[in-house]
Structure 1
Amino acid sequence: MSIQKTIDRARLGEKLPEMPWYVQQFIDYKLPDLSPSTLLEYVRDYESFFNWLRAEGLSAATVLKDVTLEELESLRMENVTSYRLYLTTRTEGTNSRTTVTRKLSALRSMFHYLSQIAEDENFYPLLKRNVMAKIEIKRTNKPKDTAAKLKGKILEEEELLAFIDYIREGYGVDVADNKQASYSHAKNKERDASIASLILNSGLRVSEVVNLNIADLDMGNKMLYVMRKGNNDETFKTPVYFRDQARFDMERYLSLRESDYKAPKREKALFLAIPNGQKEGKRMTKRAIQAMIIKYAKRFGKPYLTVHKLRHSFATDYYLQNDIYKTKEQLGHASTETTEIYAHLTDKTMSEAIERRGEET
């Protein structure tokens, strides 16, 4: 199991006892199909909804677990509309359209289970009336729209190599007058360049990079074994290929991984950092990698560049040389619908990609 999944499963176990019994039953029903991370988001969404019901006087419960099925049955369309309005206008932490859609989808999923699947002792549905079935949830992020937002905010062509070179050399020149920044860069530049290069030459997600172990690396075949997002078989790792540039950059990092990061033999992680005040290297965190890329991106002149946009950068470059189906497999997308983004980011059309697929089969 990945590090993040282990953490999220533990958090899920802590939060579930605070939820009504029927939420716990729903999560148990979904557990074989969804990751602990997704289910934890569900529970957080339900927590927000139940707290709102209590605050609005739509539930008499004094604690979350006491919100009843009868109170859910008595909800009206105007109540759901008010909750949607609350999510989009609340002063602390307003939600984007995508987040609101996700939260409402989580509620629809639970209400559907309670009204269509779950049964009481007399074989009747647990929920007799499902107000959420009336809610139309429109898709908010179409591939064309996502592509439009990415225009000018990813690396293109020569910029891919230039960014890796900047991490290794250029940044050090730019911060030469800052003793602390200069020292930190000299110490970590090979590791940082290796991480950026791996994403730019394989398209891995940051969570997949974080979870990589030394044993997952096959340098001879330019391959990694990756715990893919959405794969609930926690014993299976997907082989993912990387380009020769990444092998070159990782060889430089691996030559000093043990010595520079004081890696204990028990530490299996590929990418390490030594936390402040400690002497041994530990697995880098997702947040640390995200902050690291943003730091370099700002100095490089690409302030909108993030770790995930490195993945988009690779995908766009890769799609120029391959069809949509190969790109989908390389990125680990569940369907080609997500991969359509890169058709809109390039001059290639979807029809061209599909024709190429037809020629190959």
Structure 2
Amino acid sequence: MNIQKAIDRKKLDERVVHMPWFVQQFIDYKLPDLSPSTLLEYIRDYETFFSWLRAEGLSSAESNAQVTLLDLETLRMESIVGFRLHLTTRVEGTNSKITVSRKMSSLRSLFHYLSQIAEDEDFYPLLKRNIMAKVEIKRIHKPKDTAAKLKGKLLEEEELLEFIGYIREGYGADVHNNKQALYAHELNKERDACIASLILNSGLRVSEVVNLNIDDLDLANKIIYVFRKGNNDESFKTPVYFREQSKDELFEYLELRQTRYNTPKREKALFVALPNGQKEGKRMTKRAIQAMIIKYAKRFGKPYLTVHKLRHSFATDYYLQNDIYKTKEQLGHASTETTEVYAHLTDKTMSEAIERRADSES
């Protein structure tokens, strides 16, 4: 099991015991098919829902674990409407349409399992009435809509190289009066530039970057081997190519990885950090990489830029030179429908992309 999955599985095991027995049974049923990360999101959604039920007096349970099947079975449509309203209008932590849609889908999955799959000792469904079957969940994030939201928030053309250069040099000049920020930058600039460069030249997800080990890197052939999202075969790593531009940053970072961060030989992580007060370097966390990119992006003048938008930036640039099918494989998408976002972003149709690819090969 890769590093991020192991972390999420541990969190899942810790939190699922505070759920009703039928939710625990549902999670066990889903474990072979869904990642711990996805199931952890399910648990968070159920925590929100059960807490709301209790606060509204729709369940007399004293804790989420004590919510009953009868509580779910006797819910009315007005209650579900009320919960959706709660998610969209509460003062703190208001959810986007996409988040609300996902939370409702989590509930639908649970209710479907309880009413259509799970059985009691007499072979009857655990849930006799499924209120969520009446709830229509519209598809929110169509490729065209996603593309519209991303426009103007990605790095384009020369900006890809400029951002990497800014991490190496420009940021230091901007914070020269802040001794603490300057010290941190001097310590980490090669590593940080390397991470940004790798994502901008390969399209890796942040979770894939976090999980990278030294042994996953084949510099000579410009290949990195990663556990890809959706692939449940834990013994197989997918080869992902990176562009020539990343080689220099990788070489430079690798030369200082052990000495700069006092990295012990037992630490296999490619990207390491030296946390305050600690003597040895250890694997960087997902949160640390996300925060690092946001820090540089704000100073660079791209406040909307995130680590995931670096992946989008690569994909848009890559799609301009390749067809949709090659882009899909590079990014590890399950279907070309997800990759269509980049057709809308570049105003280049799929047919044009395929024709260009055919012309280059002839």
Instruction: Give me the TM-score of the superposition, normalised by structure 2.
Output: 0.96
How far the C-alpha of 1:9 sits from its partner, in A, is 0.9
Partner SS, residue 17 of structure 2: helix
Residue 218 of structure 1 corresponds to 218
* Partners of 1:231 and 1:152 in 2: CA distance: 32
Partner residue, 2:83: 83
- d(CA) in 2 for partners of 1:336, 1:302: 28
Q: Residues 127-159 of structure 1: CA distance to partner in whole angstroms, max 9, x if unpaired?
A: 111110010001111111111111111111111
Deviation at 1:174, TM superposition (A): 2.2
Contact 2:206–2:308 (CA under 8 A) maintained in structure 1: yes
Q: Over residues 205-240 of structure 1, what are the superposed CA-to-partner deviations in whole Å (9 max), with x where a residue is unaligned?
A: 111111111011011110011111222222221110
What residue is the counterpart of 1:125 in the other structure?
125
Aligned position for 1:154: 154
Measured in 2, the distance between the counterparts of 1:82 and 1:197 equals 46
User: What residue is the counterpart of 1:334 in the other structure?
Assistant: 334
Q: Which amino acid aligns with 1:305?
A: L
Structure 2 CA distance for aligned equivalents of residues 181 and 128 of structure 1: 60
State the 1:101 CA deviation: 0.6
Report the secondary structure of 1:269's partner residue: coil
Alpha-carbon deviation of 1:270? 0.4
| 1:35 and 2:35 aligned | yes
For residues 38-77 of structure 1, the aligned pairs below 5 Å read 38-77=38-77
Counting matched residue pairs gives: 361
Q: Take 1:323 and 1:188, find their aligned partners in 2: how far apart are those partners? A: 36
Q: Is the contact between residue 320 and residue 353 of structure 2 (CA under 8 Å) also seen in structure 1? A: no
Q: Return closer, same or farther for 1:68/1:180 CA change in 2, 3 Å cut-off.
A: closer
Q: Which moved more, 1:174-183 or 1:52-61?
A: 174-183
For the residues of structure 2 that align with 1:322 and 1:196, how far apart are their CA atoms? 22
Matched residue, 2:249: 249
For residue 349 of structure 2, what is the amino acid of its counterpart?
Answer: T
Contact 1:226 1:239 in 2 (8 A): yes
**Paired position in structure 2 for 1:163:** 163
Unaligned stretches of 5+ in structure 2?
A: none
- Deviation, 1:357, is 7.3
Name the structure 2 match of 1:194: 194
Deviation at 1:358, TM superposition (A): 8.1
Write the distance in 2 (CA, Å) between the matches of 1:67 and 1:92.
25
- Per-residue CA deviation, residues 43-100 of structure 1 (Å, 9 max, x unaligned), is 1111111111111121122222222212211111111111111111112211111111
Is the CA contact (8 Å cut-off) linking 2:201 and 2:245 kept in structure 1?
Answer: yes
In the TM superposition, residue 347 of structure 1 has moved relative to its aligned partner by 2.8
For 2:236, the equivalent position in structure 1 comes to: 236
For 2:345, give the aligned amino acid: L
Shift of 1:356: 6.0
Assess, with a 3 A threshold, how the Cα gap between structure 1 residues 62 and 175 changes in structure 2: closer, same or farther.
closer
Q: Give the conservation status (yes or no) of the 8 Å contact 2:322–2:357.
A: no
Q: Is the 8 A contact 1:111 1:127 kept in 2?
A: yes
The amino acid that maps onto 1:267 is E
Equivalent position amino acid for 1:211 in 2: N
Q: Which residue is equivalent to 1:300?
A: 300
Whole-angstrom distance in 1 between the partners of 2:60 and 2:176: 62
**Quick check: 1:96 aligned with 2:84?**
no
C-alpha distance in structure 1 between counterparts of 2:143 and 2:205, whole Å? 18
Unpaired runs of at least 5, structure 1:
none
Structure 2 letter corresponding to 1:162: E
Write the distance in 2 (CA, Å) between the matches of 1:40 and 1:294: 25
Pair 1:136-2:136 in alignment: yes
Provide the rounded CA distance (Å) in 1 between the counterparts of 2:291 and 2:274.
16
Structure 2 Cα separation of the partners of residues 123 and 239 of structure 1 = 46
Amino acid at match of 2:314: F
Deviates more, 1:175-184 or 1:63-72: 175-184
Cα RMSD between the aligned structures? 1.7
After TM superposition, the score normalised by the length of structure 1 is 0.96
Distance between the aligned counterparts of 2:186 and 2:7, measured in 1?
32
**Residue 24 of structure 1: CA displacement?**
1.0
Deviation at 1:114, TM superposition (A): 0.9
Give the match's secondary structure for 1:18.
coil
Code of the residue aligned with 2:148 in structure 1: it is A
Distance 1:40 1:174 in 2: 40
1:325–1:357 contact (8 Å) kept in structure 2 = no
